[in-house]
Structures are given as structure tokens and as C-alpha cells.
Amino acid sequence: MAARSERVALVTGGGRGIGRSVVLALVRRGFRVAFCYRSDTAAAEACVQTATETDGDVFAVQADVTLEADRTRLVDTVRDRMGAIDVLVNNAGTTEDGVAFRMKEAWDRVVDLDLTAPFRLAQLVIRGMMSNGWGRIVTIGSIASRLGFPGQANYTAAKAGVEGMTRSLAQEYGRRGVTVNTVSPGFIETDLTRDASDLARTYVENYSALGRFVTADAVAEVVAFIVSDQAWAVTGQTINVDGGLVKL
Ligand SMILES: NC(=O)c1ccc[n+]([C@@H]2O[C@H](COP(=O)([O-])OP(=O)(O)OC[C@H]3O[C@@H](n4cnc5c(N)ncnc54)[C@H](OP(=O)(O)O)[C@@H]3O)[C@@H](O)[C@H]2O)c1
């Protein structure tokens, strides 16, 4: 592990999948890391255990980021335990697919989690980042925003919204030392894609430059770079980590 810095990172949905890889990648770079999860306490505890074995300073908080009270409690808890939040990684997200003409509450549920929660959390941390003159906000998007998969109007719209939010916040806070970016994975092997159709797998194999699903660790390494000092000139961007599936 790199020498521990005083920088504090908050990762949403850090117990499993891509979020877990992000937590561990930031720990390896010496960040002190807090993460939240919604319900899988066993996975969260296992992630803390793994991080602690490498001498990481990590803790987990149960919080549903779609709930205002939970978001406030989460941010307050991290500040109390670790101090000002320097890095926010909005990772928690979900899909709830269905044909558009029948989609009712699934629209709101996906937009609430994948778009509104990242914005509300950014609002809660950005003043502290401005006061320190340094901050990093990364939201995990999806190449769905570019490709527009059928049955995913809610998810595609939310992830496209994240990219717009990113561009706007980057312009608003760049002069205060805060960078804001979106990292957009392609198809990654996680619980979210466990039931991916054969069609999706064939599509990736045939049409991506690398011809394979990407790993959560590969996404996490890009996030870790974006939140580093060295990435100071990268802001307002959407960086695809998709094995070359999106061509434009
Ligand atoms: N997997 C892919 O192929 C893929 C591709 C493109 C983009 N993405 C994006 O990458 C991000 C992570 O996806 P993933 O595949 O790693 O998902 P995942 O394996 O399903 O894990 C989701 C994580 O988010 C947490 N979470 C879900 N709802 C939450 C809520 N309301 N409040 C707080 N935490 C919540 C879960 O907590 P619990 O463990 O407690 O349930 C879990 O830790 C998402 O934004 C997703 O849209 C994924």
C-alpha cells in the first residue's frame, strides 16, 4: 500500500461489484475510505476485512442514497470519523428494465438512484471541497448513455443525465480546485450483469475492440487515476472503460 495520505474518499455502493474494486484501489493508493451499502451487510463486512488486511483505514455505513435523511447521516458520519471529504465516487446504481409504454415506478426508482442521488451527494460535499481548494467528484456512468439499449429508457436517460451534470459542475467548480468526471463502464462481470443475455455477450464479443467483458478492477484503476493529483487537468469528461465498444 502507498503511504497513507490524509485524503478522505467516500464511495457509494462499495460492498460489491465495481464499488468494491474502487474502495480497494483507493486504499492501495493510501486514501482513507468510507463507503456505503444498502442491504448486503455481509459483503460490506468482507470488503472492510479485505481492506483492513492491507492496513487500509476503511469503514462502512448502511445508507440508502435515495433517501435524503440517509444521505445527510452518511456524510455527517464520514466527516465525524475521518474529517472533510476530499473525494466522492458516486457508484451506487441499478437497472430496472422494461418496455417504455409499460414503465411506471421503475422510471423514478432508476432516476432517483442513478442521477438524483449523485447530484444530491455532490451538493453535500462540494462546499467542503471548495474551502479546501481541492476536490474530486467521479460518477460511474454507463455506455448505455451512448448506445441506448432497448428496454432501458430509464437507465439510459439517467446515465446521460450524469454526463450533463458532470459537464456543468466541472465548469462551475473548476476554479475552486474541484474536478468532476464521469467514468463509463461497458459490460462488466458483476451481479448487475449476471443475467446478461446471450445477445449482449455476443454483441460484446463481436463488436468491441477487445472482444470481451471488462473487469471491475480495470474500471477502478481509471477512477483511481482520475482522483489523483496527477489528473488535475482532466475535468468535465466522460471516460469510457468499455474495451473499445463505443467507437465515437
Ligand atoms: N456491471 C456493469 O456491467 C456496469 C456497466 C455500466 C455501468 N455500471 C454502473 O456501475 C455502477 C456499479 O454497478 P455494479 O455492476 O458494480 O452493481 P452491483 O454489483 O449491483 O452493486 C451495486 C452496489 O450499489 C449498492 N446500492 C444499490 N442501491 C443502493 C442504494 N439505494 N443506496 C446505497 N447503495 C446502493 C449495492 O449495495 P448492497 O450490496 O447493499 O446491495 C451494491 O454495493 C452502477 O452505477 C452501474 O450502473 C455497471
- Domains by residue range for the chain, with CATH: 8-241 (3.40.50.720)
Q: Assess whether pLDDT exceeds 70 at residue 76.
A: yes
Evaluate: CB of 187 within 6 angstroms of ligand 1.
yes
Residue 18 CA, distance from chain mean position: 8
Q: In whole angstroms, what is the distance from residue 135 CA to residue 76 CA? A: 17
Q: Assess whether pLDDT exceeds 70 at residue 4.
A: no
Asked whether the CA dihedral 94, 188, 35, 174 is positive or negative, the reply is: negative
Tens of pLDDT, residues 213-245: 999 999 999 999 999 999 999 999 999 999 999
For the CA of 40, the closest atom of ligand 1 is 40
Identify the pLDDT of residue 1: 60
pTM (two decimals): 0.97
Identify the pLDDT of residue 192: 78
For the CA of 41, the closest atom of ligand 1 is 40
Q: Assess whether pLDDT exceeds 90 at residue 194.
A: no
Q: Assess whether pLDDT exceeds 90 at residue 155.
A: yes
Q: Which of 205, 221, 49 is nearest to 138 (CA)?
A: 221
Evaluate: CB of 220 within 6 angstroms of ligand 1.
no
Q: Could you tell me where the DSSP H helices lie in 83-197?
A: 105-111, 117-132, 144-147, 153-173
Identify the pLDDT of residue 81: 98
Identify the pLDDT of residue 133: 98
Q: Whose CA is nearest to atom 25 of ligand 1?
A: 13
Evaluate: CB of 243 within 6 angstroms of ligand 1.
no
Q: Assess whether pLDDT exceeds 90 at residue 124.
A: yes
Classify residue 206 as left (phi > 0), alpha (psi -120 to 50) or beta: alpha
Report the percent of the chain where pLDDT is more than 70.
Answer: 98
Mean pLDDT on 15-41: 98
Identify the pLDDT of residue 53: 95
Evaluate: CB of 182 within 6 angstroms of ligand 1.
no
Identify the pLDDT of residue 201: 86
Identify the pLDDT of residue 195: 74
Find the 9 Cα to ligand 1 centroid distance in Å. 17
Q: Assess whether pLDDT exceeds 70 at residue 2.
A: no
Other beta carbons less than 10 A from residue 118's beta carbon? 30
Catalytic residues: 155
Tens of pLDDT, residues 128-153: 999 999 999 999 999 999 999 999 99
